[in-house]
Structure formats: structure tokens, C-alpha cells
Amino acid sequence: MKVFKSAFIASIFFNTSLLLGAVAEETSNYAFCIRWDYDRDGRFYGSTHCEFATEIQFLSRWNEYPIIRTIGPGTNSTIFQTFLTKKQIESGTGWWMATTCPVSIASGRPFKPDIPFWPRNRDRINAGDYKCVSKK
């Protein structure tokens, strides 16, 4: 009986190792997980509805550098605050873009968009025309 239990446990460990090794290197983006809205002070934010952690990259006309945060279960927050006002977002002179990719359960590292996160790719990013890939 001990041999059977040991073989069974080894089999589970081996199969789990194979499964983790076969975790997707690429997945669709997870933009569906984020709902964008305004808080009671009129600031633009995103909130997650995923059951796992996701990384958001956000850039707007008013940000010099992208804001990158991981939100969701297992993190400190389920809210992604942009600190932009409703007036800024709804003005005809501005733009914003965001990517949403999952955090790998196997490695703990976030997947990244398969296209560069640059303003020239804004139309593709906002259309959801990107995949999330594992960067090794």
C-alpha cells in the first residue's frame, strides 16, 4: 500500500509539473476584467472583476510615463486610480490607453502585451488588438 501511495503522489507531482510547464505562453488580453468609471470625487479609475491578479498599464496625454500596477486578489488593491479628472477624460483634446494582462499563477510574473506600449500603438491597444505573452 505504501508503494502505491508513493507512486500515486509521484504521479500527481510529475503531472502537475508537466501542467505548470505547459502553462500558456500566450493568452488573449483581459480587458473584459476591468470596468472604467469615476469615483465620487470625479477621478477616473478602473476596478477589477477578475478572480485573479492582473497588471494594468495606463498612459494618457497627461502622463509623462505609464502607470503600471498589479491589482486584484492577492494584491493590496482592486482599484486602479489614474488621478485624471472627468473633465480631462471627456475633453476632446485628450486620449488614454490601457492594457490588461493576467499574472502567471506558475511564475507570479505578469504577462505583457505582445506589441510595444507606445502611443503610436494606441488605436490597436484600445481596440483590444493585442495578446498577453509570457516574457522569460
CATH number of the structural domain spanning residue 61: 2.60.40
Q: Does some domain include residue 12? A: no
Q: What is the pLDDT of residue 28?
A: 86
Domain that holds residue 28: 24-133
CA distances from 70 to 19, 25, 44, 67, 101 (A): 25, 19, 17, 10, 9
Residue 15 has pLDDT above 70, yes or no: no
Judged on CB neighbours under 10 Å (0-12, 13-18, 19+), 64 is exposed
The answer to the question of residue 95 being in a domain is: yes
77-121 pLDDT, tens digit each: 889 999 999 999 888 778 899 999 999 888 889 999 999 999 999
Of 59, 69, 66, 67, residue with least CA distance to 103: 69
Whether 17 is in a domain gets the answer: no
Measured CA to CA, the distance from residue 104 to residue 112 in angstroms comes to 10
Q: What domain count does the chain have? A: 1
Residue from 119, 121, 27 nearest 66 by CA: 119
What's the pTM? 0.77
Q: Can you tell me which residue has the cell 502607470?
A: 67
User: Which residues face 26 on adjacent strands?
Assistant: 133
Compute the average pLDDT of residues 69-74. Answer: 88
How far apart (Å, rounded) are the C-alpha atoms in residues 104 and 99? 16
- How far is it, in rounded angstroms, from Cα 59 to Cα 120? 12
pLDDT in tens, 38-60: 999 999 999 998 888 999 999 99
Residue 3 lies in a domain: no
